[in-house]
Structure 1
Amino acid sequence: MPSSWLVANALWLQAGWWACVLGAQYPGLLLLVPLGLAIHLWLCPDYKAEIKALLRVALAGCVLDSVLGALGVFSFDTWPLPLWLVLLWWVLASGLRHSLAWAGRPYWRGALLGAFGAPLAYVGGARLAGVGLPLGVIETGLLLMPVWALALPLLLRIAARR
């Protein structure tokens, strides 16, 4: 896979994250996400396998965040998840077979990235998107560390499956 594709995919992940999180307050930004996903699929070398991976990962991610919300880790204004968060799962899924694939093997890479990157993204995103953290910021971050140390490697495997 050309390095330009991986760079473009990494940039898309960042832009998509911002569009989703800020889209919680400015819903017009959410329109950029389906456009970005369509471009991603159009440029993707194997779009059929990519669509399957996107569906599997987004479903698993939405279940994970719905469970965390039901357990009181997050407080959303809609049930089970707000639209911007569902779209954010599609954005994340679009990078797991590409710019984030390096974290899939060995397992510890994904575990480290998940343990440290995900809590920072959640806590930062929650503040920007107006998501409540009933347990507190630090407590939520610490709780998410082991969850995501397990979740990210599993999501990478789910995405890689053919």
Structure 2
Amino acid sequence: MAVIDNKIFSGVWFQLTWFSCVFGRDDWMLLTAVMIAFHYAAVTNLNAEFNRVWPCALIGIVTDLTLSLIGVFDFGDALLPMWMVCLWWVFPAALPRAFGFLSASWWRPIVLGATVPTNYLVGARVGAVDLPYGELTTFLILAPIWMVLLYIMVRVSDARLVPAQ
């Protein structure tokens, strides 16, 4: 088993990369890129990993870009900054590892999805994003979106997962 497949390692990797993206943003982009490169260098089957991750990354990028376009998010000069795009390559990479427990039932990703918007609230509090509708309204907009989004991402990721050999 590759070190990246360890649930605890993957969870720590995800959290550190999340901090690098959200707290460091463009200033820490080199660190973020190194952490992402480490993940993709550590997987045993790069093609399988890419084929599993890209659909979820695309879903997330399009969703956040749409939310930015309609004014739910304000990232300043960018509709969707590069650090946010990076996050969308990090999260699906951690899905079957650090968040593998979500696959155990249909309701887990839906329940956890309702809590995911707190990450955007943290991002707003540290200046990574402005929430023009305010925290509560933004949370209420994002919670049902993420309930569906996380369910879909878990199912897409699971369907494209190639078992370790």
- The answer, yes or no, to whether TM exceeds 0.5 is yes
Runs (4 or more) in structure 1 with deviation over 4 Å come to 1-4
Cα deviation for residue 42 of structure 1 reads 2.4
State yes or no: 1:87 paired with 2:94: no
Unaligned segments of structure 1, at least 5 residues: none
Unaligned segments of structure 2, at least 5 residues: 161-165
The superposition leaves residues 108-149 of structure 1 with CA deviations (integer Å, 9 ceiling, x where unpaired) of 100111111x11111101222431111111111122111111
Decide which moves more: 122-131 or 8-17.
Answer: 122-131
The superposition leaves residues 80-105 of structure 1 with CA deviations (integer Å, 9 ceiling, x where unpaired) of 31111111111112101211121123
Report the counterpart of residue 22 of structure 1 in structure 2. Answer: 23
Report the counterpart of residue 8 of structure 2 in structure 1. Answer: 7
The superposition leaves residues 36-59 of structure 1 with CA deviations (integer Å, 9 ceiling, x where unpaired) of 122212222332211112222111
> Once the two structures are aligned, what percentage of the paired residues are identical?
34
Instruction: Give the 3 Å change call, closer, same or farther, for CA 66–96 of structure 1 in structure 2.
Output: same
In structure 1, C-alpha distance between the alignment counterparts of 2:131 and 2:46, rounded to whole Å: 37
Cα deviation for residue 158 of structure 1 reads 1.9
In structure 1, give the amino acid aligned to 2:79.
P
The superposition leaves residues 47-74 of structure 1 with CA deviations (integer Å, 9 ceiling, x where unpaired) of 2211112222111110000111112111
Report the counterpart of residue 38 of structure 2 in structure 1. Answer: 39
Question: What is the TM-score of this pair, normalised by structure 1?
Answer: 0.89
In structure 2, C-alpha distance between the alignment counterparts of 1:78 and 1:68, rounded to whole Å: 15
In structure 2, C-alpha distance between the alignment counterparts of 1:38 and 1:13, rounded to whole Å: 13
Instruction: Give the 3 Å change call, closer, same or farther, for CA 55–129 of structure 1 in structure 2.
Output: farther
Instruction: Give the 3 Å change call, closer, same or farther, for CA 2–90 of structure 1 in structure 2.
Output: closer
Report the counterpart of residue 160 of structure 1 in structure 2. Answer: 158
In structure 2, C-alpha distance between the alignment counterparts of 1:159 and 1:60, rounded to whole Å: 12
In structure 1, C-alpha distance between the alignment counterparts of 2:35 and 2:13, rounded to whole Å: 7
Report the counterpart of residue 61 of structure 1 in structure 2. Answer: 60
Question: What is the TM-score of this pair, normalised by structure 2?
Answer: 0.87
In structure 2, C-alpha distance between the alignment counterparts of 1:15 and 1:129, rounded to whole Å: 18
CA contact (8 A) 1:103 1:110 kept: yes
Aligned residues: 159
Q: Over aligned residue pairs, what C-alpha RMSD do you find?
A: 1.9
Cα deviation for residue 2 of structure 1 reads 7.9
